[in-house]
């Protein structure tokens, strides 16, 4: 059986040792009875993670001429511990002055979430 706790400790230890861990505050919009977002979001949790990006896909637009543009996907890796389980798709956070929305949790074997982000 997989020792999830041991793997999580190794991952966070490595990220912390290298000095790339960042703490962010995960927030969620509140909705009124008409399902409209209210003014102030609520703080869900503070969590440490690792921001990283990948240039891994192509957009092809065909019109007057063909255009191929590469896109960049952005991720934030967190442990799937007690705090990590509070995070849901649609939550958001701010990092270095940029707001990010979590569009996919990217759950991996109950150990971590490599969350796909979208800039807001």
Domain containing residue 22: CATH number? 2.40.10
Structural domain count, the chain: 1
Write the DSSP string, 67-111.
EEEEEEEEEEEEE-STTGGG--TT-EEEETTEEEEEEE--EETTT
Q: What percent of the chain has pLDDT over 90?
A: 47
Q: Is 1 helix (H, G, I), strand (E, B) or coil?
A: coil
pTM: predicted TM-score of the whole model, two decimal places: 0.79
Of the two residues 71 and 116, the one the predictor is more confident about is 116
What is the domain extent for residue 97?
4-119
Q: Which residues contact 40 (CB under 8 A, 6 or more apart)?
A: 30
Per-residue pLDDT tens over the stretch 59-96: 556 666 665 555 678 999 998 889 999 999 999 999 99
């Amino acid at each position: 059986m997989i020792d999830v706790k041991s793997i999580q400790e190794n991952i966070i230890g490595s990220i912390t040792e290298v000095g790339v861990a960042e703490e962010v505050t995960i927030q969620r919009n509140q909705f009124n009875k008409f399902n409209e977002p209210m003014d102030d979001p609520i703080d869900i949790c503070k969590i440490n993670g690792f921001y990283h990006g990948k240039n891994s896909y192509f957009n092809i637009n065909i019109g007057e001429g063909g255009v191929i543009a590469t896109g960049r996907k952005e991720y934030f890796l967190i442990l799937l511990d007690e705090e990590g389980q509070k995070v849901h798709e649609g939550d958001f956070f701010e990092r270095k002055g940029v707001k990010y929305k979590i569009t996919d949790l990217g759950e991996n074997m109950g150990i971590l979430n490599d969350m796909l982000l979208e800039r807001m």
